[in-house]
């Protein structure tokens, strides 16, 4: 019986614990933003109220979400979505999807995907038309 073995890659294994990457991505989004933390909180709370959420957050909550020393504190998915919306940055959600082999598609890549799907549909329809024509000519 042959036994196959392989070497695990220590540097490219993706942990399913995305806490650090989400927090890092949130910190980067905050630092790249032209908004102050207070303005971010105000806008997030405004969106939350518009979306019918019953709670609001404080600056202390945002600070806890993004500091590494508190790994147990992450925003719930609705708050993470609002955070990404307010800052126009999908990095934290991308960090969460990365270990699953998924990517966030936006901008020109999204337009390219829409085009590719349309092109694939066009080619499938053309193939179907050629097959139908070939069947018609056989008769």
Q: Structure pTM?
A: 0.74
Residue 81 pLDDT > 60, yes or no? yes
Share of residues in the chain with pLDDT > 70 (%): 89
Residue 24 in contact with residue 95, Cβ under 8 Å? Answer: yes
pLDDT digits (tens, 9 = 90+) for 40-68: 999 999 999 999 999 999 999 999 999 98
Q: Where are the alpha helices (DSSP H) in 8-106?
A: 19-32, 37-50, 59-66, 77-87, 91-97
The whole-number average pLDDT for the span 108-117 is 92
Phi/psi of residue 73, each to 5°?
Answer: -110, 105
């Amino acid at each position: 019986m042959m036994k196959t073995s392989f070497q695990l890659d220590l540097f490219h294994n993706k942990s399913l614990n995305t806490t650090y990457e989400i927090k890092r991505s949130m910190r980067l989004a905050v630092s790249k933003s032209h908004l102050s933390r207070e303005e971010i909180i105000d806008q997030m709370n405004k969106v939350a109220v518009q979306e019918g959420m019953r709670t609001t957050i404080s600056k202390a909550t945002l600070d806890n979400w993004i500091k590494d020393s508190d790994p147990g504190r992450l925003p719930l998915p609705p708050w993470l979505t609002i955070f990404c919306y307010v800052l126009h940055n999908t990095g934290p959600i991308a960090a969460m999807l990365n270990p699953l082999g998924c990517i966030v598609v936006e901008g020109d890549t999204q337009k390219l995907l829409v085009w590719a799907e349309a092109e694939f549909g066009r080619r499938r329809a053309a193939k179907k038309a050629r097959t139908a024509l070939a069947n018609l000519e056989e008769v």
